[in-house]
Amino acid sequence: MKKHTQHLKLYDIRNSLLEDFANHPENNANGVDLIGKLLSFSERHAVSGNCWQYYVAYFIANNVNAFSLSCERKPNFQGSLAEFAYEECRHLMDIFNYPLSSLPTVDNSANLLKNFKSATTESQLPYARIIADFTDKLKKCNTTKAFLECVENFYCDYGVGELGLNKAFRVVDRDGSAKLVPISCMDKKRLDDLVGYQLQKDKVLQNTNAFLEGKKANNVLLYGDMGTGKSSTIKALINEYYDKGLRVIELYKHQFMHISDLISKISSRNYKYILYLDDLSFDDFEVEYKYFKAIIDGGLEVKPDNVLIYATSNRRHLIKEHYSDGNDIDPMDELHKSDTKNEKLSLVARFGLSIYYPSPDQQEFLNIVHELAKRMNLDIEDCVLDKKALTWAIRNGVKSGRMAEQFVNSLLH
């Protein structure tokens, strides 16, 4: 086993569990330590079956190298790099099929590792099911060629590493540069789960489909009253189009300085990225919007075709305005106020598609309540439900989709 590690160049296994496994099979203490690592990993990811093979599949799926990136960008990859990958897969196949019974383990641990059953029902890994399916496919490979083709197909279908396999990310500042951190706990709602606002959802869908198909698409601003489903619509897109290569990156205005760095990290990957800016607005003293305007449209650096910006806001024009902005000359303040107004309005003009989400009227509010109650199998008369819903809305001071959902949830107590 140890002799194989020196051949692995595309798949660098230094500082990995594979190296521990390869270098210390004869040492019982390290063998036990390896089992502890495998058990911890398998329990965390809710593995069912051969946890060693699952880990190797996980390692292959997350190993970003020249070959995996090339497969991600180009299906049926050929060339010298593919020949190198063939040799790598010959050794990876041996590692994948390594008999755990050869380990100096205690009692019946080898058999338990081969037939692992996690006590947890849901993995902390958003793409755990994908890795499990990949593991099953690798098990069926009887030749190196088949093993290589399986790996190639995986990279072509799902990509490689965190950027390919995760659905959504947040941005973290690490030593002055942008670090993408996967978001593991996410809302699982899809667009059909969102009640109402069909016209608005259709506009978002049309633009997003064009984006995914490589056609011209616009940056999108979803604006309107609170609780009307603006953010929920974008979150639902993640679940709706993950299989088609859509990824979403959540970004806040204090992180705009990282946008150029962020784009450089994702522009060469074979996915479509939405930069998601939730509850976007600016006060007078905040000047980040000037930098943001240049990033969206107007700077020398062109935004790549695989990146769009979707933002939500309660404000139509994003930047706080004053009544005095309408006066061109104000002797007590700035001259040519219309210039200031145009500067502020030019930001929202950078969004090619603006979609308004109004608060529902009373009947629309009740329609949403009834649909949600139906989905929850609530057994309550319509007239009683209407009265309770309107009372709830009056007490809370607003009618919205969010308020309707909160009301229905209260009936489930």
Mean pLDDT of all residues in 70-92: 80
The helix (run of H) or strand (run of E) holding residue 140 is: none
Q: Is the pLDDT of residue 290 over 80?
A: no
Mark residue 336 as left, alpha or beta (left: phi above 0; alpha: psi -120 to 50; beta: remaining). left
The helix (run of H) or strand (run of E) holding residue 228 is: none
Percentage of residues of the chain with pLDDT beyond 90: 21
Mean pLDDT of all residues in 164-172: 89
Q: Is the pLDDT of residue 52 over 50?
A: yes
**Residue 105 CB neighbour total at 10 angstroms:** 18
**CA distances, 60 to each of 39, 138, 188 (Å):** 19, 11, 27
Tokens 């106020």, located at residue: 337
User: How does the average pLDDT of the chain come out, rounded?
Assistant: 79
Mean pLDDT of all residues in 353-366: 90
The closest of 133, 153, 144 to 49, measured between CA atoms, is 133
Confidence of residue 57 (pLDDT cuts 50, 70, 90): very high
Give the angle 16-18-21 at the CA atoms, nearest 5°: 120
Q: Is the pLDDT of residue 6 over 50?
A: no
Q: Is the pLDDT of residue 317 over 70?
A: no
Lowest mean pLDDT among 113-117, 222-226, 300-304, 407-411: 300-304
Calpha distance 141→150 (Å, rounded): 8
pLDDT tens-place string over residues 246-255: 999 998 877 8
Cβ-contact 168, 273 below 8 angstroms: no
Q: Is the pLDDT of residue 104 over 80?
A: no
Tokens 């616009």, located at residue: 218
Cβ-contact 359, 400 below 8 angstroms: yes
Alpha helices in 143-284 (DSSP H): 144-158, 161-165, 198-212, 230-241, 259-266
Residue 307 makes CB contacts below 8 A (sequence gap 6+) with: 263, 266, 267, 272, 273, 274, 275
| Residues forming a β-bridge with 30 | none
Positive or negative, the CA dihedral 51, 53, 57, 59 is: positive
pLDDT tens-place string over residues 174-199: 777 778 888 877 778 888 888 888 99
- Structure confidence at residue 401 (pLDDT): 87
**CA distances, 47 to each of 108, 113, 123, 182, 298 (Å):** 18, 10, 8, 20, 49
Calpha distance 156→69 (Å, rounded): 9
- Structure confidence at residue 25 (pLDDT): 45
Lowest mean pLDDT among 201-215, 291-305, 369-383: 291-305
